[in-house]
Structure 1
Amino acid sequence: MRADALRNRTRIIDTAREVFREQGYDASLDEIAKRAGVGAGTLYRHFPTRDALLDAIMQTWVDRVEEAAEKALAFEGPPRELLLGWFDVYVGLISLHRGGPAKITSALGDPDSPIRTKCEVLTGAFERVMQRLRDADALREGVDTVQAARLVGGVATVADDGGLDAAAVRPLLVVVADGLLRA
């Protein structure tokens, strides 16, 4: 890729991330092109669909997911604190952009989703944390990782839609964690 094309692509991604953070994933692509200082044709040449642009934005997010899972797995405290810490991080990861929790949570486990590969990374990270809890015999029998991720994603969606802060979200996550862990 030519240097100017690479600069345009990077500028589009950075601008889209900012616009999506402000306006949600349904923000105008023309607005993104305008703010990035490129024509709509340039944006569509790099990203023929909205999903292609989302995919590019989410790649750096994928790296953050992997780092967060490794950090959670390095935690050496009680299982409940491990799970709650992971839930806090998970909510933060899927809540980076307005509308993100609903979009990501609804795509979990959907093989036809355009963000399927990113959701698989997220689910894989969630599974590693859940497996650690299973290995410690701390998780209730039959807890499904995707269903647990959807529960936490539902809490994040409510927080996103209602403008709830972390202090209002934490008690909801405690209820979910307590329901997943052995008594």
Structure 2
Amino acid sequence: MRADAVRNRERIADIARQLFREKGYDAVSMDEVAKTAGVGVGTLYRHFPTKEALYDAAIQAWVETVNAAADKALAGEGAPRERLLAWFEAYVEFLTRHKGAAWRITSAMGDDDSPFAAKCRTYLNANQRVVDTLAGEGALRGDVDAMQLCRLVGGVAAVVDNSELSADAARSMLAVVADGVLAA
């Protein structure tokens, strides 16, 4: 790809990321992204043939950020419960960065045909590392798996994203989830 095409693609993804964060996925149109990015609609569609492809590119930077957050939570000091809660809080924060993303991503978990499949795999893989680490320490119940964590914590994130709950209320729900998955 030519240097100017790469710059256009990156600018479009950056603008889309800002718009999705500010307005939510449903409220952003492809025309609005093109206009705000200062490119023609044809240029936008050449790089991103669908809104889902644009959304995926706009939040691709999350892959590294999500992995770093999981690693940070697992490497943190403290009991398994505190490390698990640190990860859960980071996970909810990621899912609620873009209005409407929490339920979209959580409901797409396990659907390889979803336009959000790459994001789902990123979160699933991060949760798998958390499960593997904490299970290896004997800290999790034996029947807990990464998909369950994605759906449970994603459910809390969806409630937070669609309500006026305080951070304290979210933390208390996450504590209930953590207590439910930790070994007795």
Task: Flag whether TM exceeds 0.5 (same fold).
Answer: yes
Structure 2 residue aligned with 1:179 = 180
Deviation at 1:115, TM superposition (A): 2.2
Distance in 2 between the 1:160 and 1:174 partners?
18
Root-mean-square deviation (Å): 1.3
Structure 1 residue aligned with 2:16 = 16
Structure 1 residue aligned with 2:71 = 70
TM-score under structure 2 normalisation?
0.94
Structure 2 regions of 5+ residues with no counterpart? none
Structure 2 residue aligned with 1:54 = 55
Deviation at 1:2, TM superposition (A): 2.1
Structure 2 residue aligned with 1:5 = 5
1:1-183 → structure 2 map (5 Å cutoff): 1-26=1-26, 27-183=28-184
Q: How many residues align?
A: 183
Residues 125-172 of structure 1 show CA distances to partners (whole Å, capped at 9, x for unaligned) of 111111111112111221121012101000000000003332221111
Deviation at 1:114, TM superposition (A): 2.0
Once superposed, which parts of structure 1, at least 4 consecutive aligned residues long, lie more than 4 Å away?
Answer: none
Q: Is the 8 A contact 2:17 2:59 kept in 1?
A: no
Percent identity of paired positions between Structure 1 and Structure 2: 58
Distance in 1 between the 2:183 and 2:10 partners?
47
TM-score under structure 1 normalisation?
0.94
Residues 70-95 of structure 1 show CA distances to partners (whole Å, capped at 9, x for unaligned) of 11221231011011011001111112
Q: Is the 8 A contact 2:102 2:157 kept in 1?
A: yes
Deviation at 1:34, TM superposition (A): 0.9
Distance in 2 between the 1:7 and 1:59 partners?
16
